[in-house]
A and B are shown apart, each in its own frame.
Chain A
Amino acid sequence: MIRTEEYGLVLKEEKLEGGRRVLDLFWGPQHPTSGHTRFIVELDGDVVINVTPDPGYVHRTMEKLGETRHWIQNIPLFERLSLPDAINVTWAYAMAIERLAKIDVSPRAQYLRVIMAELSRISTHLYDLGLHAIMIGSSTGFMWGFGLRELVVQLWAMVSGSRTTPSWVLPGGVRTAPPDAFYEQTKGFLDYLEKKIDEFVRLVIKNPVGYYRLKDVGYLSKEDAARLMATGPAARGSGIDWDARRVYKYGVYDELEWGVCVEDGGDSLARTMVRICEIRQSAKIIRQALDRVPRDGPLVGEAVLHRMPPKQKETANQIIRLGSLFTTRLPEGEGLGITEGGRGRYFFHVYGDGTERPYRVRISTPSWQNLRAMIKTFIGARLMDLPAIYGSFGYFPPEQDR
């Protein structure tokens, strides 16, 4: 007679009512839908009793690396926290350095940063929606999300020269100016994007199969979201009306007309609809910014422009040479940069100590902050709900582990 304990199937007996037993499942780093992080899931039948997260599989010691190098060498480093969202991450870092070293930003650079940051937000949302769709089972949603992202990535290549790692935001401004073909191509892309997002909603979300996967799944109440400090679509899906772009008024967001997307449901459906709505709002922002962006003008503010040699200043409307930035030292003090990325708000706190290396860089990423809220929603759900909740939070382990 074969005993199930021999095969190691049931690991512990908890004092649940009726003396039921609990199955430990290692939803580990090598798994199709857990990303690169491990959750130790304890199951009673089909219902999840407890989840213990085990993060750190992709820890790259970015905060420590930030202390050992020149502050300008950190820009390609911190960009790799979350590559779909590269502009928003480096903008937060650049904002911290600007506040620390008292560097101003030129108006043309503000508009360009807003355009590229909203494209970055669209790219992150498409990536998250695509992964969410494949976790629910719809491979069509996955391919559409990444197919549309291919068009965004080609736009990035047009502006900065690289498809996925732009390294484009500098403290003081941006590095290169977009060519003239960029403006028409972006408008064409936005028209196609809005059409395809409608089809995506009809195919994956309004489809009763997908709808019932998402409705009333992973409920996070408004009090819990505020207490556990959820951020991004996780908080806005539970009714908390907070957006760093509106509160901190960076860039030119206060001059453009746009709305913050808030839903009251608190379940996965609400979070996903917040993402869809944010894509549409981003398209609206980009259209307005494309009309208003100055086609000519310096790409960096006066503080950096003032230190550039005349030969390099001549081309400062097209490309910024880095010599003047490389010889800048960080004064003693601290600077704070907060931006709203696609998944939530990025927080960079840079301490300078008079040399060119930061004394300390503290990073807070949205996935790390949403971890507690996500664990709270996992408990009580069914096993098949775990991928749906995971995708709706937009959870990204490389960003969580830094």
Chain B
Amino acid sequence: MVMIDMSMDLWSLLLSARLWFFILMFAVSGVVLLTVVWFERKAAARVQMRVGPYHVSPQLGGYLQLLADAFKFIISEPIVPRGAHKILFVWGPAIFVTLAFGASLLLPLTPELRLIKDPSLLPYGLVFSLVILLLVSILIVIIGWSVNNKFAYIGAAREALLVAAYELPLILSFLAMVILYGTLNPIEIAQKQTFLVGAILNPLAFLVFIITTAMATARFPFEIADYEGDVATGPYSDYGGIFLVLSFAGGTYYATFSYSFLATLLFLGGWALPGYAPGPWPQDITGHLTLAIWVFLKTTALMFFFAFLRAAMPVLRLDHTLVLGWRGLLTLGFLAVVWSAALRFVGLAP
């Protein structure tokens, strides 16, 4: 008979790095999302000669309006159209937001706070998160098909064309950074960036990554698949209530969050704080938490940039976007790879 020492296991369970990572990602990503949506509304309002959310919590600048809106969406009656494919219509948004968020769970937050325990499996985590992010867009096509509506059908076709256009440049920019660092291990990638972050070492790859992320997550100027002017928000045209907040408001923003998280790791230095190295995990909780907050701040700053684009840019036409993807971004992607290879050849790569 084996006696299990329950008290020791409970304490080590509570201090487990994976649990802390999980809770931090869920809680803080929700807060980050609300803050980014709040910033988007407020920044757009400031540019547009008006005041954004204000009356619900005037001292906080209307921040709690977001909670009120989310609450309204959640308690709203979910309506499933008669001709829609019922299973995919109902499950589509849930799978969408799970995949969009799940991609960021495969990346490490700090050297110790990560979900993948075995350090030799971390390179696979990096590649898999990129793969899952590319799968998210295919889900949009599935959602558009399940709605059974001509406008959604056109939106889904547009999304399929866009995926073909931005996928290669995204992979090329990823490849360029991997060539630059010479390793796929995210911990080593973050360690190699000091003041010269990835964006400065290879600005072409950063530019390509930014533009393809905007294409992938329907940020202006590429809100083409769910364009309100033409296809009446395309695949999401028959969604309302909880479905809408999971897919249109939640899923696309969670996808932006995951892309920004990946970009923070590759281009903005990850958790690297020059001159600061935390101790091992259970002893130095505050050090790791500081680094985690630093990563979240960088991610939020990048998401703020994407949110600000709504106020500044109109929407580009579909065939111009495809030309931009296949000609402009593909060339830039190849140039980024060549640049990284040249840096590595010369010996300036970290």
Q: Is B188 an interface residue (CB 8 A)?
A: no
B44 within 8 A of partner (CB): yes
On whether the beta carbons of A382 and B150 are closer than 8 Å, the reply is no
Q: Is B48's CB under 8 angstroms from A138's CB?
A: no
Interface contact A382-B319, CB-CB below 8 Å: yes
CB <8 Å contact, B315 and A209: yes
Choose among B227, B313, B318 the residue with the greatest number of A CB atoms under 10 Å from its CB: B313
Interface segment, B166-174, B228-236, B241-249, B254-262? Answer: B228-236
Distance from B161 Cβ to chain A, minimum over Cβ atoms (Å): 9
Chain B residues with CB below 8 A from A143, complex form = 48-50
Assess the B316–A139 pair: CB atoms within 8 A. no
Contact across chains for B230 and A147 when beta carbons are under 8 A apart:
no
Say what secondary structure dominates the interface of chain A: helix
Least distance between A190 CB and chain B CB atoms (Å): 17
Is the CB–CB distance between A213 and B316 below 8 Å?
Answer: yes
**Which of A31, A382, A384 is close to B232, meaning CB atoms less than 8 Å apart?**
A31
B83 within 8 A of A: yes
Residue in A33, A140, A382 whose beta carbon sits within 8 Å of that of B48 in the complex: A140
- B229 lies within 8 A of A136 (CB): yes
Complex CA–CA separation, A386 to B317 (angstroms): 11
Contact of A387 among B50, B83, B230, B319 (CB under 8 A): B230
A383 touches B230 (CB 8 A): yes
Q: Interface size class for chain A?
A: 20 to 34
Could you tell me which residues of chain A, from 134 to 178, have a CB within 8 Å of some CB in chain B? 134-141, 143-144, 147
The answer on a CB contact under 8 Å between B314 and A33 is no
A210 nearest in chain B by CB position: B314
B313 CB contacts on chain A under 8 angstroms: 137-138, 207, 209
Whether A137 contacts B221 by the Cβ 8 Å rule is: yes
Contacts of A9 in B (CB 8 A): 150, 153
At the interface, yes or no: B336 with Cβ under 8 Å from chain A?
A: no
Asked if A137 meets B47 with Cβ closer than 8 Å, knowing A207-B313, A209-B314, A212-B316, the reply is no
Which residue, of A137, A209, A387, has the highest number of chain B Cβ atoms within 10 A? A137
A32 touches B314 (CB 8 A): no
- Chain A neighbourhood of B314, CB < 8 A: 133, 136-138, 141, 204, 207, 209-210, 213
Contact between A147 and B315, CB atoms less than 8 A apart: no
Contact (Cβ within 8 A) B49 A137: no
Contacts of B83 in A (CB 8 A): 7
Residues of chain A from 106 to 139 with CB closer than 8 A to chain B in the complex: 133-139
User: In angstroms, how far is the closest chain B Cβ from the Cβ of A152?
Assistant: 14
User: Is B315 within 8 A of A137, CB to CB?
Assistant: yes
Whether A147 touches B48, Cβ cut-off 8 Å, given contacts A203-B312, A209-B316, is: yes
Whether a CB of chain B sits under 8 angstroms from the CB of A23 is yes
Residues of B within 8 Å of A207, CB to CB, are: 312-314
Give residues 369-401 of A contacting B (CB, 8 Å). Answer: 382-387
Chain B nearest CB from A394 CB (Å) reads 16
A7 cross-chain contacts in B, Cβ below 8 A: 83, 148
Partner of B318, one of A46, A203, A387: A46
CB-nearest residue of chain A to B154: A383
- The answer to whether A139 touches B44, judged by C-beta atoms less than 8 angstroms apart, is yes
Compute how far the CA of A9 lies from the CA of B147 in the bound complex, rounded to whole angstroms.
Answer: 12
- Interface membership of chain B positions 216-233, coded 1 if the CB is closer than 8 angstroms to chain A and 0 otherwise: 000011011001111010
Q: How far is the CA of A316 from the CA of B313 in the complex (A)?
A: 52
Chain B residues within 8 Å of A382, by CB: 317-319
A304 to B230, CA, bound (A): 52
B319 in contact with A33 (CB, 8 Å): no
Name the contact of A139 in the complex, choosing from B154, B221, B232, B310 (C-beta under 8 A).
B310
> Is there an interface contact between B230 and A386, defined as CB atoms closer than 8 Å?
yes
Nearest CB of chain B from residue A23's CB, rounded to whole Å: 7
CB neighbours of B318 from chain A (8 A) = 46, 382-384
Q: Is A25 part of the binding interface, using a Cβ–Cβ cutoff of 8 Å?
A: yes
Bound Cα distance from A207 to B220, whole angstroms: 13
Q: Cβ of B227 and Cβ of A137 under 8 Å apart? A: yes
User: Can you name the residue of chain B whose Cβ is closest to the Cβ of A45?
Assistant: B157
Which residues of B126-144 are within 8 A (CB) of A? none
Query: Is the beta-carbon distance between A140 and B312 smaller than 8 angstroms?
Result: yes
* Chain A residue contacts of B293, Cβ below 8 A: none
A385 touches B229 (CB 8 A): no
Known contacts A209-B221, A387-B230: A136-B150 contact under CB 8 Å: no
A150, closest chain B residue (CB): B49
Is B311 close to A, CB under 8 A? yes
With contacts A147-B48, A147-B49, A212-B317 known, is A137 near B229, CB below 8 A? yes
Q: Which residue of B lies closest to A11 (CB)?
A: B150
Q: Tell me which residues from 314 to 348 in chain A have a Cβ below 8 Å from any Cβ of chain B.
A: none
Taking the closest CB of chain B, its distance from the CB of A84, in whole angstroms, is 18
* B47: chain A residues within 8 A (beta carbon): 140
* Contact A384 B312, beta carbon cutoff 8 Å: no
A203, B49: Cα distance in complex, Å: 14
The answer on a CB contact under 8 Å between A387 and B229 is yes
Interface string of B186-206 (1 = CB under 8 A from A): 000000000000000000000
Flag if B50 contacts A33 (CB, 8 Å).
no
Render A4-22 as a binary contact track against B, CB cut-off 8 A, 1 for contact.
0001010000000000000
CB-CB nearest in chain B for A32: B228
CB distance from A194 to the nearest CB of B (A): 16
Inter-chain CA distance A55–B316, complex, in Å, is 29
State in angstroms the CA–CA spacing of A226 and B224 once bound together.
35
Q: For residue B153, which residues in chain A have a CB less than 8 angstroms away from its CB?
A: 9
The 5 closest A-B pairs by CB, nearest first: A137-B315, A143-B48, A138-B314, A147-B49, A387-B229
The 18 listed contacts between A and B (C-beta, < 8 Å) are A7-B83, A9-B153, A23-B154, A25-B151, A46-B319, A136-B229, A136-B315, A137-B227, A137-B314, A137-B315, A138-B313, A144-B49, A207-B313, A209-B315, A382-B318, A382-B319, A383-B318, A387-B230
Interface on A for B, CB 8 Å cutoff?
A: 7, 9, 23, 25, 31-33, 46, 133-141, 143-144, 147, 203-204, 207, 209-210, 212-213, 382-387
